[in-house]
Structure 1
Amino acid sequence: MRFGVGTGSFRAPVRYGLRAALLATVLVIPQAGADTLQDALVKTYQSNPQLLAERANLRATDEEVSQAIAQWRPRISINADYAKIHSESKTDGLPRSLARTEPWSADVTATQTVFAGGRILAQRRQADASVSAGRARLRSTEQSVFLDTISSYMNVVRDESVLKLNEANVGLLKKQLEAAQARFDVGEITRTDVAQAEARLAAGLASETSSQAALKASRLAFERSVGEAPGTLDTKPPVPALPETEVQAREIANVQNPALVGARAQEDAARYGIDFAVGQMLPTVTVQASYGRSGQERGPAETIGDDTRLLATAIVPLYQGGAEWSAVRQAKEINNRARLSVEDARRATDEGVQNAWEAYRAARSSSEANRQQVKAAEIAFEGVQQEQEVGSRTTLDVLNQQQELLNARVALVRTERDEVVASYSLLSAVGKLTAQDLELPVQVYDPVENYDMQTWRPFGGATYEK
């Protein structure tokens, strides 16, 4: 063991340089003007194609109500025809006979369904239930794309921090290798110590490369969700307000979880499907009124006639080969399946809330434990460096403790990411991860607006896009 002025002349500067560099990697200060998580969610809400496509899908579902309502309205048609007929006849011994006639006709017919066995009402109610299910799907899609954005946002924050830690670690390892080489040159340590420093540097470079690739993938995922590449991100987004207890979370989910809400709406639609099937076996009564005019020109003469009709028709199905009864049985089984799907959705929702609650608790506890681990690792690293100064610790001891400190800091970065994502996952599980619930500064899409505009619209092909 060697001590002296020569030894301390390069040990102390290296030691304090390493300490300063390590501290610099810990202080991650959010920059002014950084993009916040709220900014990312706003951009997602306004431009995410998956969300916009689901809105269009809901607007298409709204048209099912309009089509059902149309069955109550009269059907009006106009028919017209016109012809020119040239005929020629010849009888033996008589001159050839030529004739030209121009018959024409036009009529307008209006047909009104008076009674359809309740099928039209059932179809309207079934369409309304489908709209409710579609709104639940839209809410589910909104939550899904928001959670994707939050995850990709926090992944970028995490991977940028991990990359900075690995880059700083590589810089420290390079300095340690230089110090080890200098000490080897004066005979204080062996070639083995230098090789250990070289091996640890190679491992650090490999970790740096891996973290660069991970960051690239996270940035691409962010760009896909948000629509643009991430800039400088706020590294400490706030955790949202959450239910106070697990019981409260489960109660909220029972009312608001979109998967459960959608399953209940599908059950309603299936129940009205039974009414529609039964209506196929009931009478149908229609009333038809028509007015027509026809004429025919034959040479200089023209004949014109008017025709006015009022017709009531009743169709009573007696036997259709058993198909109508099969349709009723089928509708009942579809309703039975939908009813069981509600129970399955309820159980899945309850399980999802409990898992999300436990995941958030675990992530929060892990973050606190990792903060304590980082503090302890920093103290240990400082102590090992001091002990190396007096020769009671080897180069490998310092390298190992430095790796422990790096691992602790990386673990803290990861658990802080997990804590934020888990909090929003819990919101998603209860059904409150929406623009309205998060109070985002956007004009919230209102599906009722299109429904009210289009369902009673009797004509016109313009669509409402927003």
Structure 2
Amino acid sequence: MKKPALILGFSTLVWVMPLHATTLEEAIAAAKEHAPEVEVAEAESDIAKARLQQAKSGGRPSATLSGTIGAGRLDPKGYFGLTADNVTPTAAQLVIEQPLFTGGKVSAGVEQARAGMAAAEAGVVATEANLVANVAGAYGSVIAAETMVRHYAQLVDETEEIERQARLRFSVGESPRTDVAQAQARTAEAKAGLARSEGQLVTARARFRSLTGLEGADLQPLPASPLLPATLDDAVAQAEADNPQLAQAEAGVKAAQAGLKGEKADQLPMVSAFAEGAMVRDQFFPGYKADSATVGVRARWQIFSGGRVSGKIAESDARLRVAEAQLRAARDAIREHVIAAFSGVRTAALVETAAQEQESAAREALRSVREEVRVGMKPQLALLDAEREAIAASAALESARTDRIVSAYRLLALVGAQ
């Protein structure tokens, strides 16, 4: 009597606190909050912003305050009639400096930092877009594995029942030993399929948990594909405008151009305005005091560097050529990937439609065979064959649905629509 009461209590608990079925959109949102790679990309973006702030500071005024204080004994050796005495030498200086001309080095540094920030921001977009596609794939894998577990569990029950009946008929001499052996083989095959699908479910849920932080125990069916570019030309044009990898390559060219500009600035003079104020006590003889204030212009021009500056210019020029070549390669690669992804989306949609028709036909065939077996027109093993074909069709359909949603998000990642 205790067991039914326990079952009733558990059922009541489930009814009071129903589990919330997770949607794909919720899984994607959870992944963006959970995934460390997104956190890394966002931190790198913050680093780039901080570098921009540092670069801008090169053109702003700076103020430096320095000072010293000590204790000692000073002996002027009778100079000016002064005798030895204990002193507290003290000095303080305040320097304010404003760059007036840097040959373009500060502006080049700012441009380089802006390019780095643009590349980092594009990296965040690319990371999130790839994460979305990965989550969609993991989500679909969990659903497919759960479907296979259900089908194989049902098949195990049916094969065990058929094996039991075969043994009974064999025991009374109504069927040969071969029927029993075939039934045993089909039961073993079904159990192997169940074990394999259960292992795939564990792996799929582990992958899903790693990406999202969610358990993935109750997932809604895969939704329809997100809105995609209508034509291939639209997809290519959108990718050329918004693809994050392409944006990173373009930022790399801008950074290299700014770097070359900055190195060339070392060939020009640096000019700044300054104001200094100083206070000195007990420095040269006991009781010595001096205060000073100075304003002026300071210039520095390195007219010979032994080839260091020209070497840096040559290096930066080569880096610019590398960046430009990488940008051309990125454009060609993105176009190729977009064409492949667009074709993949269309192919996945056609495959899903065909898989739906196959699954529907297999289920209809299964119903027909089940009825024919019931009235004795076909043997029980024919039912198992039909079950196996229905399971294969169901697996193909779930796989096609996953491929369809993943290919859609891969295309979105390429066109920068995330």
Q: 1:345 aligns with which of 325, 330, 339?
A: 330
Check conservation: 2:253, 2:324, Cα contact below 8 A.
yes
Deviation of 1:46 after TM superposition, in Å, equals 2.9
Instruction: Indicate which of 52, 55, 77 corresponds to 1:68.
Output: 55
Alignment RMSD, CA only? 2.5
Q: Which amino acid aligns with 2:52?
A: V
Q: Following superposition of structure 1 onto structure 2, how do residues 300-339 of structure 1 map, counting pairs within 5 Å? A: 302-339=287-324
**1:382/1:154 CA distance change after superposition, 3 Å:** closer
The 8 Å contact of residues 100 and 298 in structure 1, kept in 2 or not, is answered as: no
- The letter for the 1-side match of 2:407 is A
1:19-41 per-position Cα deviation (integer Å, ceiling 9, x unaligned): xxxxxxxxxxxx99521111112
Q: Output the TM-score relative to the length of structure 1.
A: 0.79
The residue number in structure 1 matching 2:21 is 34
User: Helix, strand or coil for the counterpart of 2:298?
Assistant: strand
More divergent stretch after superposition (115-124 vs 69-78): 69-78
**126, 139, 145: which one aligns with 1:153:** 139
- 1:144 maps to 130
**Equivalent-residue separation in structure 1 for 2:258 and 2:284 (angstroms):** 59
Q: Is the 8 A contact 1:367 1:419 kept in 2?
A: yes
Quickly say closer, same or farther: Cα 1:339–1:392, change in 2 above 3 A.
same
1:221 match: 207
Conserved? CA contact 1:54–1:141, under 8 Å: yes
Query: What residue identity is the alignment partner of 1:242?
Result: L
Find the counterpart in structure 2 of residue 52 from structure 1. 39
Which residue identity is paired with 2:37?
Q
**Contact 2:42–2:124 (Cα < 8 Å) also in 1:** yes
In structure 2, the CA distance between the partners of 1:74 and 1:231, relative to structure 1 (3 Å rule), is same
The alignment status of 1:362 with 2:352, answered yes or no, reads: no
Alpha-carbon separation, structure 2, partners of 1:296 and 1:341: 64
Q: Give distance in 2, aligned partners of 1:386 and 1:83.
A: 106
What secondary structure is seen at the aligned counterpart in 2 of 1:422?
helix
CA displacement 1:202-258 (0-9 Å, x = unmatched): 111111111111111111111121122124110132321111112211111111111
Evaluate the alpha carbon distance shift between residue 68 and residue 390 of structure 1 in structure 2; reply closer, same or farther with a 3 A threshold.
closer
1:285 deviation in Å?
1.2
Q: Please tell me whether residue 194 in structure 1 is matched to residue 180 in structure 2.
A: yes
- Aligned pair in 2 of structure 1 residues 297, 51: CA closer, same or farther (>3 Å)? closer
Structure 2 regions of 5+ residues with no counterpart?
1-17, 78-82
Separation of aligned partners in 2, 1:61 and 1:414: 41
Distance 2:353 2:169 in 1: 39
Residue 260 of structure 1 contacts residue 346 of structure 1 at CA under 8 Å; is this kept in 2?
yes
5 Å-filtered alignment, 1:364-443, equals 364-385=349-370, 388=373, 393-432=378-417, 434=418
**Structure 1 CA distance, aligned partners of 2:309 and 2:340?**
46
Q: Size of the alignment, in residue pairs?
A: 397
Q: Deviations over 1:148-180 (max 9, x none)?
A: 222211111111111111111111211221232
| 257-266 or 414-423: bigger deviation | 414-423
Distance 1:359 1:428 in 2: 14
- Equivalent residues of 1:165, 1:410 under 8 A apart: no
C-alpha contact 1:193 1:395 (8 A) present in aligned 2: no
Q: Distance in 1 between matches of 2:72 and 2:359?
A: 102
Query: Which residue, out of 65, 69, 89, partners 1:82?
Result: 69
Residue 386 of structure 1, CA deviation: 5.2
Cα distance in structure 2, aligned partners of 1:290 and 1:171: 93
Unaligned runs of 5+ in 1: 1-30, 91-96, 435-466
Sort the Cα spacing of 1:343 and 1:206 in 2 relative to 1 into closer, same or farther, 3 A: same
Aligned runs of 1:127-276 on 2, under 5 Å?
127-276=113-262
* Contact 1:102–1:298 (CA under 8 A) maintained in structure 2: no
What amino acid does structure 1 have at the position aligned with 2:250? R
